[in-house]
Structures are given as C-alpha cells and as structure tokens.
Amino acid sequence: MSEQTYLSTKPIPMQERLIMALDLPSIEEAKKLVEVLGDSVHFYKVGMELFMTGDYFELIHWLKARNKKVFVDLKFFDVPETVGRAIRALSKVGVEFATIHGNNAIMESAAKEKGDLKVLAVTVLTSLDRGDLDDLGFKCDIKELVTSRARRALELGCDGVISSGLEAPALRDQIDNKLLVISPGIRPVENRPSDDQKRVVTVTQAFNNGADYIVVGRPIRDAADPYSEAQKIQSQIAEAFQQ
C-alpha cells in the first residue's frame, strides 16, 4: 500500500506554487536574477536583507510592473496595535502574502487589518531543530508546537502558516484544509553540511505532505544556470500533481 499523500486541491496556478526567495544583498542583484529567471518564476519572496537596502518598496513595485506576485517576509513582531497598523499599510501596496510572528493578540490584530492581503503566521523556523527549541525553553514536540500555532492562527483569522514540509501532514490531518501551508527549507538534493536549514524536504515530499506553495532560494540562486534549475523545479512540481 502506498503512503498517504496530501496534494493540495486549492485552485492555485501551477507555476505560482514555486516562490523564489530573493535573498540578495542589493536591489540591483535581485533585479538581475529576476531577469535571468524570466518566465520560470512568477512569485517572489522579499525579506529583511533587501529591506535594509532602503529600496525595498521600489523593488516591489518593479516586480509588480512585471506581473510578478510578491511575498513580503518581514515577520512582523511588535505590540499588537503596531503590527496591525503595519499590516494595514502594507495591504494597500498590493502584495499577496506577509509573515507575522508572535502570540494570539498579534495574530488577531494583523488579521483584522489585512484586507485582501493574506497573512501567514510563522510556526517554527526551519533553521531550528529539537536542540534549538530546548535552548529556547520549548519542551513540547516540534509537531505539536507547529500544529498548535497553526490552529490558533486560523481561528484568529490568519490565512496560513509557514511550516516545514515535515510537519505539513499533521496540519492536514488536524486542521481545516483551507489553511494555506507554505513550506521553506526545500532542497532538491541532499542537504550540505554548511547549510543552516535543518528541517528540510525535497520538492516532491513537500507537496505530497500537503504544502500549497514551496519557497526555494539558494538551490536556484547558487546554481550554475538558475533558469534551468527553476525550470527543473517547476517540472518536479508538475510531476507531483500528475501522480
């Protein structure tokens, strides 16, 4: 008997299920990579490194002018009212996703102000393993922590969560399927010892485990031919949904 799969049934355009992480030190390098990737990538994540360049929103508008979708990954964490106001302002920019971090009050405040923006709660960073959580004082099982945070996020009005593909099956088993699951830490090949991502899965594993989207950065960015690598991942996604 084959293992159970949790392939997403949400009406998401196939090529948009790949989100490319633009983890680069300058806007110029980010734009150059987007131009190299061309039609192989339709959805981009822009995070804190690019935010610190001072031209963050100029890049967002540049991406939108090229019909790309944008995921703002700044993991808003502050007093609830401040996070709510930040999400309200961001909702007017026209991006698709934004990440928040924190407790129930923060998630609830963000959800109330999101408008058409989809708010994603961070569960447990994929760079953390059991030992790291022990250091932080979390004695519960990683899977239990992820599902608990995801359940609360959905109940409080968030649209989805950032979660490793390792925990995605538990989310699909225990939480309403309308929850969006975005899985980072995707490694098309075996993880390198120097890689700071610890809880990783392959493209196929992530979607079989229930991810709606995957976030890929270094495997594409650092490839000899980024366009071909992105196309390869797009082919793996298509194959996963043809099973």
CA of 34: how far to CAs of 67, 182, 234, 238, in Å?
12, 21, 16, 22
Residue 141 is predicted with a pLDDT of 64
Residue 138 is predicted with a pLDDT of 55
Residue 194 is predicted with a pLDDT of 46
- Our CA angle for 119, 122, 124, nearest 5°, is 165
Q: How far apart are CA 54 and CA 59, in angstroms?
A: 10
**121 CB contacts (<8 Å, ≥6 apart)?**
99, 100, 101, 107, 149, 150, 153, 158, 160, 161, 162
Q: Please give the backbone phi and psi of residue 62, each rounded to the nearest 5 degrees, phi first.
A: -65, -45
CB atoms within 10 A of CB 87: 23
Closest to 20 (Cα-Cα) out of 235, 179, 233: 233
**Residues carrying an active site annotation:** 75
Closest to 116 (Cα-Cα) out of 85, 82, 93, 84: 93
pLDDT along the chain (243 residues), means of 10: 79 97 97 98 97 97 98 96 98 97 94 98 61 52 78 95 89 92 79 49 93 96 97 96 84
Q: How far apart are CA 84 and CA 78, in angstroms?
A: 9
Closest to 210 (Cα-Cα) out of 238, 241, 172, 237: 172
Phi-psi region of 185 (alpha: psi -120 to 50; beta: other; left: phi over 0): left
Residue 235 is predicted with a pLDDT of 97
Domains of the chain, earliest start first:
14-230 (3.20.20.70)
Residue 67 is predicted with a pLDDT of 98
Q: DSSP H helical segments within 92-211, as ranges?
A: 104-113, 130-136, 142-155, 168-174, 203-208
